[in-house]
Amino acid sequence: MEKREELYAGKAKTVYATEDPDRLVLQFRDDASAFDGTKREALARKGEVNNRFNAHLMRHLAAAGVPNHFESLNGADESVVKRLEMLPVECVVRNRAAGSLCRRLGIAPGRELDPPIFEFFLKDDELGDPMINESHIVTFGWAEADEIEPMKAISRQVNDVLTGLFADASITLVDYKLEFGRFHGELLLGDEFSPDGCRLWDARSGESLDKDRFRQDLGGVIEAYEEVARRLAIPLGEE
Ligand code: C5P
């Protein structure tokens, strides 16, 4: 599909209009960012790896009955998606303790979380993406009251599907962030699922295979993403 005007450039993706008012092109760039954009770097191959990774997982989720915006690959680092009206809310699901949960509540990293923890955050860089609850969402109109349960239910469904997919590749799905939007009134999973937005630990060694390698200056960031792709049999460099 042909790209038209640039609508929005985020920290790692650029969004373009297309000839179809209901479709967008997402371009996955090589830019990496962390800590609300204060740490930035370009990492060779990242755009292509994340685009193909996301396409594979979104197709897998759709096949498992998780409604999402992905339509097709549009070249190595681009995908065509449905044009959603995005909700300014981030949904985080946690199967193991890590990151902000440990800092906030003093929980030991790596602790198994059963049942998994679900959290809402406001998508707002200037405010540092603060944690919010359902009452904030409804009162401030960040989503409709009747969209809250579906966001939680779809997030749980994603967890059921992806914990199994990663476990089969000897990878622990520690936590991840999802975003949702409306397409002609229907709530769909949007944004991306890639190692930029989740924590993935090697099931045996516990080694990080995700953006924590970038956040913590561990090196080998894209090599780790490619290793995850290889284990999931995601084709890189074709289609
Ligand atoms: O930082 P925190 O521990 O709350 O992150 C939980 C999960 O959500 C991590 O996998 C992180 O990569 C992801 N996340 C994200 N974008 C954000 C906040 C968190 O992808 N703005």
Predicted confidence at residue 36, as pLDDT, reads: 86
pLDDT in tens, 78-94: 999 999 999 999 999 99
* Residues 45, 97 share a domain: no
Hey, which residues does 96 pair with through a beta bridge? Answer: 112
Structural domain containing residue 157: 85-220
Judge if the beta carbon of residue 175 lies within 6 A of ligand 1.
yes
Query: Is 73 a member of any domain?
Result: yes
* Residues 133, 211 share a domain: yes
* Structural contact between residues 152 and 178, judged by C-beta atoms closer than 8 angstroms: no
- Identify the domain boundary among 31, 49, 82: 82
Of 177, 196, 211, best ligand 1 pocket probe by most atoms within 8 Å of the beta carbon:
177
Domains in the chain, number: 2
CB-based contacts of 66: which residues, under 8 Å, 6+ apart?
Answer: 154, 157, 158, 161, 189
Judge if the beta carbon of residue 195 lies within 6 A of ligand 1.
no
Query: Is 234 a member of any domain?
Result: no
Query: Quick one: which atom of ligand 1 is closest to the CA of 123?
Result: 21
Q: What is the DSSP letter of 34?
A: E
Query: Is 235 a member of any domain?
Result: no
Distance 93 CA to ligand 1 centre (A): 9
Provide block-wise average pLDDT over 10 residues at a time, the chain (239 residues). Answer: 96 98 98 94 98 98 98 98 98 99 98 98 96 98 98 98 98 98 98 98 98 98 98 85
Judge if the beta carbon of residue 191 lies within 6 A of ligand 1.
no
Take atom 21 of ligand 1 and give the residue whose Cα is closest.
129
* Residues 153, 77 share a domain: no
Predicted confidence at residue 238, as pLDDT, reads: 63
Global pTM value: 0.98
Could you report the predicted ipTM of this complex, rounded to two decimals? 0.98
* Residues 108, 32 share a domain: no
The helix/strand/coil state of 24 is strand
Query: Is 226 a member of any domain?
Result: no
- Identify the domain boundary among 82, 106, 131: 82
Query: Is 183 a member of any domain?
Result: yes
- Identify the domain boundary among 25, 56, 82: 82
Predicted confidence at residue 239, as pLDDT, reads: 53
Judge if the beta carbon of residue 179 lies within 6 A of ligand 1.
no
Query: Is 32 a member of any domain?
Result: yes
